[in-house]
Structure 1
């Protein structure tokens, strides 16, 4: 039975054995807590994003007493209850890497998260010359390929503070994680979304596993009305470790929809007769680039299996 001293909150940071719990009834600072020893005995560990029951100690700190049921759990980054993944890719500078975009989408589909694609530096699409042309082509291709699959696409420019309001509204009342290509301006975007936030402009890229100054702790940043974003090391090792070959096609939305119509169960959508995916590919109803990435990922997974 809960006692009167027990309160509810969300772990917003974990660092050096301490858990920083933001009380449900709001106040300025999170409460610094230790976890009860019982979690270790059970082989459990509180995660950033966990909704917990905690009690206050005499010195103004607290103890995490109970972890409430999780709606989701990511292994990398180690964070719980994330509902939305925001994939940030720039339209140019660096050039948009569609194979990497599809790789992120595979991992996020496997994790069962809702996803939006955020295209940063969209102001460059109005520039003259090669960069402007590259940006316009990237915008056109993303909208043509990914919107019909049901992915929401947001265009933003941190430099001009454009497109941030619709994205901000999407983040309200949710726990989100930012992920994506290095050097695309994720930190600039977060700074534009959160008044008073002053992340170093290379901080998020570093935290996504780039460079030697990688930050290893996970932290939630408040983004508005009931919203938090995980500022994390990110999906830094996209190596399909948690994914079986048989799961891969399920993580491509178009293949998931078409595969029940394939002639053979367990169809790999590579060479089989009566494959609904290959028929749709030939008819131009499945994007050739996405299918090529699927085959490349399958080969990568097979190669890894052969090595081990």
Structure 2
């Protein structure tokens, strides 16, 4: 059987896509899979074959094991999560960025930082804010990109090269320019995909559901209705899971007095401002309280 990726699902019908060899078609789910209450998602890798139905010419026979899955928004097998923060309007929310980094680490997703609206601040303010963001994450291992809407595509080209071949979603505050950025990245592809949707009868895409858009050269960019990250305790992320979102702490592995040190400032903790930005360390310790509050009394 052939394999493809689900790029969209509406009303039990699924759009399948493959880069090489090129393929796109409409499929439905084999009945036995529906009986298992399986809900395929955008991003799922599937096996399919001909249905011999001219209206819906393919049938999904199997959904392959997932690397990860998110329910808000509903998408599977993300490789990268683009953490989008603006220079101004709104003010950068680094607390949210830290939460998203932890969420990504917990789900085996690579986080990437994209700073937008760089052309909307004065030169001095832009330099100060960019320097602060860069300093906060200098030791985190994050790849970082900064881009405005002034028509200079050099940084955008570098960003596209970085994500090529990956399945990518965007996350961040409302108003940071995610939709505008997607339109710049995918304008032609969105128009072409809309025409295909009309042709096969699925209707035009709206951001009420997740849809993947193919990227030239490989990979997909997800257009989603919004990436929600709740209280880390509500997500059942443990203190150990929280620490995995902080690459800076690897420098002190085995150095703290206690092997299970939570880096909360207790005696014997080797974490200091020398290895992590003090503001990021302060935010970490606040997030630590969230994870502890979500644990059962016997687990704390």
Residue 271 to residue 153, structure 1, CA distance change in 2 (3 Å): closer
Structure 2, gaps ≥5 residues long: 192-205
The one of the two structures with greater contact order (alpha-carbon pairs below 8 A, sep at least 6) is 2
SS in 1 for 2:48: strand
* Maintained 8 Å contact 1:88/1:181: yes
d(CA) in 1 for partners of 2:251, 2:67: 25
Counterpart secondary structure, 1:276: coil
Instruction: Kindly state the Cα deviation for residue 304 of structure 1 after the two structures are TM-superposed.
Output: 4.6
Q: How does 1:167-182 map to 2 (within 5 A)?
A: 167-182=159-174
Aligned match of 1:34: 28
Between the two proteins, the alignment pairs up a number of residues equal to 277
1:155 and 2:146 aligned = yes
**Among residues 194, 211, 216, which one is paired with 1:224 in the alignment?**
216
What residue is the counterpart of 2:194 in the other structure?
none
Deviation at 1:103, TM superposition (A): 1.3
- How far does residue 139 in structure 1 lie from its aligned partner after superposition? 0.6
Distance 1:45 1:256, change over 3 A: farther
Deviations 1:46-93 (A, max 9, x none): 221122111222233221011233333334333222111111111111
SS at match of 1:243: coil
In structure 2, the partner of 1:245 is: 239
Counterpart of 1:74? Answer: 70
The DSSP-based 3-state class of the residue aligned with 1:148 is coil
Residue 32 (structure 1) shift: 2.1
Which residue pairs with 2:276 in the alignment? 286
Alignment match of 1:10 (pick from 5, 9, 15): 5
Once residues 288 and 145 of structure 1 are traced to their aligned partners in structure 2, the CA distance between those partners, rounded to angstroms, is: 8
2:134 matches 1:143: yes
Matching residue of 1:205: none
TM-score (norm 1): 0.81
Q: Secondary structure at the match of 1:298?
A: helix
Q: Secondary structure at the match of 1:297?
A: helix
The CA distance in 2 between the partners of 1:157 and 1:271, in whole Å, is 39
Which one of the candidate residues 254, 273, 276 is aligned to 2:270? 276
Structure 1 contact 220–231 (Cα < 8 Å) conserved: yes
Structure 2 residue corresponding to 1:20, chosen from 15, 20, 34: 15
Matched, 1:108 2:104: yes
Aligned equivalents of 2:165 and 2:139: distance in 1? 26
- Output one character per residue of 1:267-305: Cα deviation in whole Å (capped at 9) or x when no partner: 12113221111xx23xx3321111111111122334455
Gaps of 5+ in 1: 1-5, 200-213
Cα distance in 1 for residues equivalent to 2:62 and 2:237: 30
Q: Residue by residue, what CA displacement relative to the aligned partner does 1:189-241 show, whole Å, maximum 9, x if unpaired? A: 11112242569xxxxxxxxxxxxxx9442110123211211111343133221
Q: Report the alpha carbon displacement of residue 145 of structure 1 after superposing the two structures with TM.
A: 2.7
Cα distance between partner residues in 2 of 1:51 and 1:145: 37
Q: Which residue of 2 aligns with 1:90?
A: 86
TM superposition shift of 1:39: 2.5
